[in-house]
Amino acid sequence: HLIGLQMWESRAIPVREKRSSDHIVQDCVMVTSEEGHFYYKTTVAPDTPACGIFLITDPDKTVEVYFDYLDVPCNTGGLVSFVDGWEMNGQFFPSVEDHPKPLAQRFHEFCGS
């Protein structure tokens, strides 16, 4: 959950600047358990590898993702994937046998602008 705090200015107590919860993603693979706003812009080079931002938490928690802006054109092969678990080379962890939800509820892909 993202929580917004409002600070009131007081003449007796100096106002401390709000800490930024913005994260500029500069690596092709990023793993984090931090909340906040994440910004990623891919390069347009044809040899750009598939990149991932892995948001992790405890198994009993829910990760919520909101897109303020999304430009992943389907006609150029753009794709966004969400996996409840971990996917590597077409294999999912935990496996279908070891997860209470079927794979159709754990894996979603989409593209668009």
> Which residue in the block uniquely carries the two structure tokens 């994440």?
38
- For residue 26, being part of any structural domain is answered with yes
pLDDT digits 0-9 by tens, 53-101: 888 888 888 888 888 888 888 998 888 999 999 888 889 999 999 999 9
- For residue 4, being part of any structural domain is answered with no
Identify the pLDDT of residue 94: 92
Kindly report the pTM of this predicted structure: 0.66
pLDDT digits 0-9 by tens, 24-55: 888 888 899 988 888 888 776 667 777 888 88
Residue pair 32/54 in contact (Cβ under 8 Å)? The answer is yes
**Does 76 lie in the same domain as 59?**
no
Pick the closest to residue 52 from 10, 88, 22 (CA basis).
88
**Does 113 lie in the same domain as 75?**
yes
Domain containing residue 100: 70-113
